[in-house]
Amino acid sequence: MKAGAVCWELSIELSEEEIKSLFNNSLDGKIRVYDRNEKLGDKDLQIRVGEINNHQINAELRTIPEKVYIDSVIKYTVILSKDGYDDLIRNGSTGDRMYANSGCKVRIYRKGLEV
């Protein structure tokens, strides 16, 4: 897994093996986080397939703690819907804007895929 974030835009690259294992297991790793030009460091990241509240999106971002600025986030969790996982398998990428007002965006894609 290779992951990075600039402000609230997350980009996550997964290998074919990681994508296949994701259906039954969560993936844990690190995400390198930047606030525009300032490096905030590596934070914990978890990706899993599960139920999300909004059925119109393929992915949901949750943070610990909730509702804080990015410099205070300790852990990012990305939850893929079943449809989001199917898109990842079929097309090699998935993602959605999480919070329409804040412009958060998550993109998950297969290693080697042009994004």
Q: Are strands 105-110 and 38-49 parallel, antiparallel or unpaired?
A: unpaired
- Domain holding 104, by residue range, is 2-110
Q: State the average pLDDT for the chain.
A: 87
pTM of the model: 0.86
In the predicted structure, residue 99 carries a pLDDT above the cut 70 = no
How many structural domains comprise the chain?
A: 1
Instruction: For residue 44, tell me if it sits in a domain.
Output: yes
CA proximity to 14, closest of 110, 80, 105: 110
Instruction: For residue 115, tell me if it sits in a domain.
Output: no
pLDDT score for 78: 93
Task: Convert the pLDDT of each residue in 39-76 to its tens digit.
Answer: 999 999 999 998 877 777 888 888 999 988 888 999 99
Instruction: For residue 9, tell me if it sits in a domain.
Output: yes
DSSP 8-class letter at 49: E
Tell me which residue has tokens 């852990």.
75
Instruction: For residue 85, tell me if it sits in a domain.
Output: yes
Q: Cα(56)–Cα(47) distance, rounded to whole angstroms?
A: 19
Instruction: For residue 89, tell me if it sits in a domain.
Output: yes
pLDDT score for 97: 61
Q: How confident is the model at residue 98 (pLDDT cuts 50, 70, 90)?
A: very low
Q: Cα(20)–Cα(35) distance, rounded to whole angstroms?
A: 32
Give CA separation, 78 vs 31, 37, 38, 64, 97, in Å.
12, 24, 23, 12, 12
Instruction: For residue 35, tell me if it sits in a domain.
Output: yes
Q: How confident is the model at residue 27 (pLDDT cuts 50, 70, 90)?
A: very high
Instruction: For residue 20, tell me if it sits in a domain.
Output: yes
Q: Please state, for a pLDDT cut of 70, what percent of the chain lies above it.
A: 91
